[in-house]
Structure 1
């Protein structure tokens, strides 16, 4: 671990020039005391690192301390830099490893390619933390030791024992055959089988994990994209769907259809509005979808859904009628 950190420290100084001990500590996720010890170790090993005193001082490397990698062209380097901006690695506990890899790649590029690739990458942003409505994506916190053990079992093809807290249930230990890892909007999932049956586990609900010595029962080759689509479809259509009859402004039809599971019937009323029979996962899902459409839609049936929407609207009216 320390050897990796020393390499990362050198690469940070190569790439960014003079840096303070506090900045290095923040980048390496260690204390300033650890940084100072690492600097002493590098100097003792012959690495030309020196300190600059003063308010704007810090540590730097002697000029010319550089190696080059000529095997990457500009587009290849740009592709790596863009990939490095994606946060999927965070969900799998690989954030620091990805940062270290990007430092090594950028540092090893010929100077001309390095500057142009880095400049171009600054003009591309992948998966920002918030969307245009400033809705922030909440990254789930998974202990590093847990996700590291899950990764080890997935990559080594070993059975995995997990202490899992399913919704509404007490945590239980279970042994699974891991297939792969998926990240969706910063939420990580383990795709696995248990006693031959498909299982999907949310990483944030794995309280502890242990990779076993026994080989996992799984195919040698896997198409995670296909498996995820199939499991997503089963999840959306599983159980008894909630059927709703709704009138909707034609301009908002796609908004409704995009949130529903299926459209069972559709016709046009005399006033031009559409009358659709659609299904949702449950009553809560239907209420949420129709509430987003405000006065552009009206639930005609079932009556329970109409009552829920009316009560919700009445609560809003009461809130804004009362003095602040």
Structure 2
């Protein structure tokens, strides 16, 4: 890993010129002390990096220095293959590999194209961390060491021992046969089997992972997209799901449908509103989905949902009517 970091340090200095130790530490996700040690190692290896002192000082390479450092390692190549989603790379613990790979790609370009590409890239922003209302995109943090262990087991076809905390339960160890990794809306999942039964594990609930030497019991080839669709269908069909009949403003239809598990029926009403029958995971999910649409949606059935929304509205009215 240190060799990769040294390569990234050289490429950063080549592309961006003089940089302070603090900036380099931030870009490489290490401490300033580690950066200083890396600078000493590069100098000892003959790389002409020197310190420029003063208020605007930092570290820089001698003008014209160039070396062939563009060979991609396995993780960098993998990160580029899934680079269509930057957050997908992060979800699988490949965020730093993607950054390193992109530096190598830029460095491999002819000099005239490099400047043009760098300028164009600054005009594009993909998947910012907040939207126009400054709402931060919810992301799940999973330690890179855990995800790396899971990846190794998936790629090598080995059994995997995981310390997993299911919802509402204490963490416990279990051994699974990993099939593949999936990321959906910033959330990563491990698809596996356990004792021959299909299992889906949320990566953020892993507390530890250990690749085992035994081969996993799984097919040689897998269609992850089809497998995910099948498991998603089974998930929506199980549990304590509730069906709700709703009258909704057409302008808010997508918001309603986006929170529901499935749309069973849909028709236009004479009042210009849509009538839908949708399913939610449970009673709490249904109440939350309808409440957030305020008066633009009305639960027509079941009666308990109407009563629950009415009671909540009455409590809010009473609270804000005081004083």
Superposition TM-score, scaled by structure 1 size:
0.88
Q: Partner of 2:293 in structure 1? A: 293
Q: 1:28 to 1:68 in 2, by over 3 A?
A: closer
- Tell me if 1:238 matches 2:238: yes
Q: Partner of 1:308 in structure 2? A: 308
Residue aligned with 1:83, SS? coil
Superposed, 1:167-246 pairs within 5 Å as 167-246=167-246
Q: Partner of 2:32 in structure 1? A: 32
Aligned length, in residue pairs? 316
CA–CA separation in structure 2 for the residues paired with 1:36 and 1:243: 61
Residue aligned with 2:142, SS? coil
How far apart are 1:229 and its partner, in Å?
A: 2.0
Q: Partner of 1:77 in structure 2? A: none
CA deviations 1:204-261 (Å, max 9, x no partner) are 1111111000111112222222222222222222235312233334554454344434
Q: Please identify, of 118-127 and 49-58, the stretch whose mean Cα deviation from structure 2 is larger.
A: 118-127
How far apart are 1:309 and its partner, in Å?
A: 0.4
Q: Partner of 1:129 in structure 2? A: 129
How far apart are 1:17 and its partner, in Å?
A: 0.5
CA–CA separation in structure 2 for the residues paired with 1:41 and 1:84: 35
**Cα pair 1:249 1:297 within 8 Å, conserved:** yes
Q: 1:282 to 1:34 in 2, by over 3 A?
A: closer
Q: 1:196 to 1:186 in 2, by over 3 A?
A: same
Over the residues paired in the alignment, what is the CA RMSD in angstroms? 2.7
How far apart are 1:55 and its partner, in Å?
A: 0.9
**Cα pair 1:48 1:61 within 8 Å, conserved:** yes
CA deviations 1:67-115 (Å, max 9, x no partner) are 5799xxxxxxxxx699387122221111111111111111221112212
CA–CA separation in structure 2 for the residues paired with 1:34 and 1:266: 60
Q: Please identify, of 29-38 and 184-193, the stretch whose mean Cα deviation from structure 2 is larger.
A: 29-38
Superposed, 1:1-324 pairs within 5 Å as 1-67=1-67, 83=83, 86-265=86-265, 271-323=271-323
- Give 5+ residue unaligned stretches, structure 2: 71-79
Residue aligned with 2:86, SS? coil
Q: 1:302 to 1:268 in 2, by over 3 A?
A: same
- Give 5+ residue unaligned stretches, structure 1: 71-79
How far apart are 1:121 and its partner, in Å?
A: 2.3
